[in-house]
Amino acid sequence: MIFRFKRFSVSNDRSPMKVNTDGVLLGAAASVNQDDRIVLDVGTGTGVIALIIAQKLYDLSLSVNREWPDDVRITGIDVDGPACEESAENFGKSPWPDILNVKKIPLSDYIPEKEIDLIVSNPPYFEKSLKAPDERRSFARHSCEGISYADLISFSKRYLSPSGRLALILPAVYETDLLRCGRMGGLFPSRIIRISTTAAKRPSRLIAEFSRSHFGMDVKTLLISEDGRYTEDYRKITEPFYL
């Protein structure tokens, strides 16, 4: 899939930026609040999720306050050096180079300077049936094998701000275990989006959002395509970011 932001274009020797649907969906669906200041993207890859969150925060800030707060910081972390170089290049070509940064570091070694308002992740998962054909992607998935959603929940419980959220996208088959892991880790699901490629197929992906508070859970379904075309719901979510 080829991806370009409406507000700007990012490019490098693989121009334009290549991303997968999961990253775009997570960035587009993750909730942002006008008080969010510190954001962490775990396993940032090309940086597309961090860039989408930056655009959403920018648009929200302008609509509410008419100005862009100077204390917003969005950090992407990844263990893959070339991925970090690519995301750094994409961040630098965005309208928000001063608030976006990337670090080559595993989650287990990362200690944030401040409490985090939003953690997003399209975490690498590795199963025998889901081996990545590309050598570098396979390396990243092997290297990140220790970063499970249990690790993300544990990290989030420790470093989220009181109103902070963890949003991640995973294969739908992990839903029961993910929700159980969240409860055991002291975080509660606030939003669940079950994603199917077509109406004839079961959900293949799950977007889950967790917080420290237990205020109930909003459950929705999202169908990506129907009759060979993107659905209105899918276009509504992603349209602000695609050219």
**Domain presence at residue 159:** yes
**Is 41 within the bounds of a domain?**
yes
Q: Answer yes or no: is 204 within a domain.
A: no
Residue 139 in domain = yes
Q: How many domains does the chain have?
A: 1
Residue 100 lies in a domain: yes
**Would you say 6 and 95 are in contact if contact means Cβ atoms under 8 Å apart?**
no
Q: What residue ranges of the chain have pLDDT lower than 70? A: 1-19, 124-147, 242-243
Beta strands in 110-198, from DSSP E residues, in sequence order: 116-121, 160-171, 188-196
Question: For the segment 43-86, what is each residue's pLDDT rounded down to a tens digit?
Answer: 999 999 999 999 999 999 888 877 788 899 999 999 999 999 99
Closest CA to 76 of 119, 15, 137: 119
Q: Locate 150 and state its tokens.
A: 């249990």
Distances (CA, A) of 170 to 23, 57, 179, 208, 227: 11, 24, 12, 8, 25
Query: Does 84 map to a domain?
Result: yes
Q: Which helix (H) or strand (E) holds 142?
A: helix 135-143
pLDDT at 20: 73
Per-residue pLDDT at 203: 95
| 13 occurs within a structural domain | no
pLDDT (0 to 100) of residue 69: 82
| pLDDT for position 128 | 34
- 100: domain CATH number is 3.40.50.150
Measured at the CA of 213, the angle between CA 211 and CA 219, to 5 degrees, comes to 65
Q: What is the pLDDT of residue 129?
A: 33
Q: How high is the pLDDT of residue 5?
A: 57
d(CA 59, CA 53) in angstroms, rounded, equals: 10
Q: Is residue 6 part of a domain?
A: no
Q: What is the pTM of this model?
A: 0.86
31: containing domain: 21-119+127-165+231-238
